[in-house]
Structure 1
């Protein structure tokens, strides 16, 4: 129990847990992003760590994890990731703000996932269309090319591919975060992270 410990001990443990979670969140993003790129799967999985850090440590740290992850992925995996880094940052900020204010419940997770999907699709479509001419990233290229070859207008094809990929990706990402936090769910972890769980 944290209440039985001295304040300096709690502070030290909290700093250690935050540092480890911060680094692991970035690592999870990089591994997820690399794996998806390597196997050309129709998802990203480069925001699992961003969502996790936002939920557990707040919007500022969530945004920083998104920034560092995006920069690392642009260097290690695909330079195109740099242009999508603002989305990763925004995901960390939004999830951090929401779960600092509201309880971490299944209902709020689903609502947050829907919100994240909406702005990710809008921003992702704009970036993909205006920066890359509608073709960016292995999964999206395959879907977009297939739709265009079927006679669908490019901008519509980009929207559809972004929507499909983001729905799959964000619900998978939030599901992973829910699973991770469920495993971590004990009194001390909740108190260290100030996480609201009913």
Structure 2
């Protein structure tokens, strides 16, 4: 992927969307994260590299501006952005395909998130609701990792489904030049 000004501008805007969404979810203690709308926008419009890069940069910025957990979970975001780029870039985006493709995006990333949450943080994250659920489930047969994985899978799926449906709706109304453009050589 050649990085020209248009692509870098889209990635920068997508990073800003991720940061704003993350801060809203953190301040309101929402059970979803809202930190991947920009990642999905970049993945849908520019592909896997842009999706992964957007998640990484957004996570690092959120991490140094108040949510240290975001730095570690940005790895999961990168994985989601890359997979979403492969599954959604220039592909059919009807509601049914979005349902199952979102699951394919979320499953491996939720496993990675559960590992990060379990082994680095003992089931504690900046999301109060999910931390409570993970701690409650850790007292069942699921134990800590199972509780973290189940919680991540459900919350990630809902979060990414909302993001993907929103982005798919936005992409439909964007001018074709925003999505289908060729990199021009300097004249």
Larger Cα-atom Rg: 1
Change (3 A) 1:183 1:78: same
Q: Does 1:166 align with 2:156?
A: yes
2:83 & 2:107 partners in 1: Cα distance? 12
Q: CA deviation at 1:20?
A: 2.9
The SS at the match of 1:165 is helix
The size of the alignment, in residue pairs, is 180
Instruction: Describe how 1:144-183 pairs up with structure 2 within 5 A.
Output: 144-148=134-138, 153-183=143-173
1:91 & 1:144 partners in 2: Cα distance? 21
Instruction: Extract structure 1 runs of 4+ deviating beyond 6 A.
Output: 149-152
2:88 & 2:146 partners in 1: Cα distance? 33
Q: Where does the alignment leave 5 or more consecutive residues of structure 2 unmatched?
A: none
2:116 & 2:162 partners in 1: Cα distance? 23
> Given that residues 25 and 34 in structure 2 are in contact (C-alpha distance below 8 angstroms), is that contact kept between their aligned partners in structure 1?
yes
Change (3 A) 1:151 1:183: same
Instruction: Describe how 1:46-61 pairs up with structure 2 within 5 A.
Output: 46-61=35-50
Q: Where does the alignment leave 5 or more consecutive residues of structure 1 unmatched?
A: 1-13
1:36 & 1:127 partners in 2: Cα distance? 20
Identify the match of residue 97 of structure 2 among 108, 112, 122: 108
TM-score (normalised: structure 1): 0.79
Q: CA deviation at 1:182?
A: 2.4
Q: Does 1:132 align with 2:130?
A: no
The alignment yields a C-alpha RMSD, in angstroms, of: 2.5
Higher helix content, 1 or 2: 1
Identify the match of residue 29 of structure 2 among 13, 33, 40: 40
Q: CA deviation at 1:60?
A: 1.4
1:22 & 1:155 partners in 2: Cα distance? 33
